[in-house]
Amino acid sequence: MHDLLSDLNDKQREAATAPLGPVLVLAGAGSGKTRVLTYRLAYLIREKLFKPEEILALTFTNKAAGEMRDRIELLLRSQRSEVRSQTAEAGIRFPQTDIRVPTSEFRNITMGTFHSVCARILRRQIQELQRGYDQNFTIYDEDDSLKVLKQILIEKHLADKFRPQVFRYYISQAKNRLAAPADLSPYGGSPEGRDNSFFGETLQDVHAEYEKRLRKHNALDFDDLLKLVCELFSNRPKILRKYQDKFKYVLVDEYQDTNYAQYMMLKLLVSEHQNLFVVGDDAQSIYGFRGANMQNILDFKKDFPLSQVIMLEQNYRSTQNILDAASKIIGLNPFQYEKKLWTENAGGSKINLYEAQDEVDEAEWVVSRIVGSQRSEVGGQTAEVREVVYTPILDNFLKYQGKFHPLPQSLPPMWGREGGGVIPQNLSDFVVLYRTHAQSRPFEEVLLSAGIPYQIIGGIKFYERKEIKDVLAYLRLTLNPRDLVSLSRVINTPARGIGPATFKDVVKALLKYDFDYARLFANAENGVKDFFGLYVRGMRLPKAKNLMELMELLIARSGYKDSLLDGSEEGETRWENIKELFNVAGKYKNMSWDKGLSAFLEEAALMTNLDSLEEEKNRLILMTLHSAKGLEFPEVFLVGLEEGLLPHSRSMDSPEELAEEIRLAYVGMTRAMQNLHLSHARLRQTYGELKRAVPSRIIKAIPKKLIAKIPNSNVQ
């Protein structure tokens, strides 16, 4: 086993070979937690003689589970080959008994996500609950659940008052807390602006009916998988004992992301043998909005008094300058284990800080920096392909700026030409990180204008998001009443009780009346009458000076705004995206509404024509900070570092939420391997108006000696 552990540093080796019992490994960013988990599994089997089928390894993604399984098989296969080679060279016949477990049998380790493992347990045991389920149950995804809830709301005549997403959110929160429908407290009160008593009673009623429907359908939602396993373990001692005997050792990755249900499941499962090995980092706990409870990792020592705590503080990813800056950021957070990351890497470059004039200038600077930083080996020396130019942007990349910075006649091999332009060959080395999905919009516009391929991770492209397409459909229909595609999208958005059959009748009538909406309005009933009343009174003859006013009227009169602002996290996120659409519309505020609308719709249509880019392998990565955890990139751009964005305005009144925003920034910074770039804007569009932005406290916390300020001639 000595050879097996030779690649580990002292602390990693201490974690991999820790005694049995509860162990918490606090693994700082880039410290090799996956490696430790892999070697711990190998150690348990090779040295502690656990059978593979006696081990349960839990992750949060199927990808992580698959990678861990592949790593352990590769590790043990390579060690087996090395031992055979060494014994052969020494003239010693290799004893078959020394290899206790064939490599193929490591597939017998139960490894997967919490939800997948719970589904397997329930396939065998769900009938023990006596709820009417059988082992052939269906697992409903979120869309399936929403359909059930929508039908319930329609039947209870509540569809015009509530969106199903609201109930889905609160029901999910309740289940993650192992609450019954009759319990109101786990729902966390009611959405802002609603009567607590009425909403609470309605929520209980809808939740109870929802559970009845699921049982009738022999279906579980994702939250049920965790909740019902906890119920099995709590109420069926024999079943609990069965799985305690089966899983004699339990390992958990990303322990800081566990919610209450996951915590209780683990605590019950290991209550007999206490063999629990968890790896995580409280500094990277960023999923509180999903129900993750960082207190689970902070209280590990209290929950398991005999536990051993091992810290991994050596970072293998980033430079020391990046780590020093990140340490100052996380130091703002009072809720944490004290750790100090260090690396053997050189100090590295200073952190670039750019103050943009506005969000467009910020996007242009990022793109120009990426383009201008490309290097290639020329004549045996590393040479700059071009100087970094902030504005005007580089020729062949952002021609719409109207100024040119000519390319050299001969380009190094690492550059390729596409469509008369030049595209760097290593775009995937760069990532742009932001707090909210809406922030991607100016970057997408710059990249599209420049002809630079990109990929959005953790969200769909701005103009392809549902709420954006909904608003655009309303606008298109205002301009073109014959647009039946847009009509089909918005006629029942928000819900007006117009089903497919009714819509067919509407289309027939429109064709009969030659798209005379006023005539159809006069002869329609109920929801159809409401919609065409909206169209006749407000959409065709809007009292709007410009495009922004038109959008305000449509979103308000249609009920779309109220349907989004329902108190849910999802609704607030979607509304933020629509506010960003207002910012785009602000470019046309000096035009009449009809001319501005025509130009705006043309722009939006062109922005959505991205099919050819999807096949590109060499793409710039755009993603939210929440999507970035677990990844690493040579170059990281962390943008929008302003109060109200990062940290987000919703966190300002809650110390816990503010602390999570700080951890988000820490996660973003520690994705960087070589270079870290930060930016903020002096002015930022908010609901169509340029407003002064305040630099984030995150910038202020970084020591000045670690920062290189980038000059900007655009700042006024």
CB atoms within 10 A of CB 123: 12
Alpha carbon 425 to chain centroid, angstroms: 27
Residue 520 makes CB contacts below 8 A (sequence gap 6+) with 506, 509, 510, 513, 528, 532
Q: Which of 261, 336, 253, 257 is nearest to 290 (CA)?
A: 257
Six token digits for residue 62 = 């199927």
Identify the active-site residue in 40, 489, 671, 684. 671
CB 218 within 8 A of CB 122: no
Identify the active-site residue in 262, 284, 493, 502. 284
Cis preceding linkage at 647, omega within 30: yes
What single-letter DSSP state applies at residue 538? Answer: I
Residue 544 makes CB contacts below 8 A (sequence gap 6+) with 550, 552, 553, 593
Identify the active-site residue in 209, 254, 444, 530. 254
Identify the active-site residue in 221, 253, 324, 355. 253
Identify the active-site residue in 11, 12, 33, 619. 33
Identify the active-site residue in 13, 14, 17, 34. 34
Distance of alpha carbon 560 from alpha carbon 469, whole angstroms: 12
Q: At 691, is the secondary structure helix, strand, or coil?
A: strand
Q: At 664, is the secondary structure helix, strand, or coil?
A: helix
Residue 220 makes CB contacts below 8 A (sequence gap 6+) with 122, 133, 137, 138, 139, 140, 214, 228
CA atoms within 13 A on the CB side of 700: 9
Residue 238 has phi, psi (to 5 degrees) of -65, -40
In the annotation, is 254 catalytic?
A: yes
Exposed, middle or buried by CB within 10 Å (0-12, 13-18, 19+), for 649?
Answer: exposed
CB 8 within 8 A of CB 16: yes
In the annotation, is 478 catalytic?
A: no
In the annotation, is 671 catalytic?
A: yes
Distance of alpha carbon 622 from alpha carbon 639, whole angstroms: 11
Residue given tokens 């396939």 in the structure block = 123
Residue 417 makes CB contacts below 8 A (sequence gap 6+) with 411, 423
Residue 712 has phi, psi (to 5 degrees) of -140, 110
Q: What is the largest CA-CA distance in the chain?
A: 98
In the annotation, is 80 catalytic?
A: no
What single-letter DSSP state applies at residue 642? Answer: B
Torsion angle, alpha carbons of 349, 355, 361, 362, to 10: 50
Q: At 270, is the secondary structure helix, strand, or coil?
A: coil
Six token digits for residue 528 = 């159809």
In the annotation, is 130 catalytic?
A: no
What single-letter DSSP state applies at residue 314? Answer: B
CA-only gyration radius of the chain, Å: 29
Please tell me the total number of residues recorded for the chain in this structure. 716
Burial 570-580 (b: 16+ CB within 10 A, else e): ebebbbbbbeb
Six token digits for residue 301 = 């020592």
Q: Which of 283, 284, 311 is nearest to 629 (CA)?
A: 284
Catalytic positions are 33-34, 253-254, 284, 671
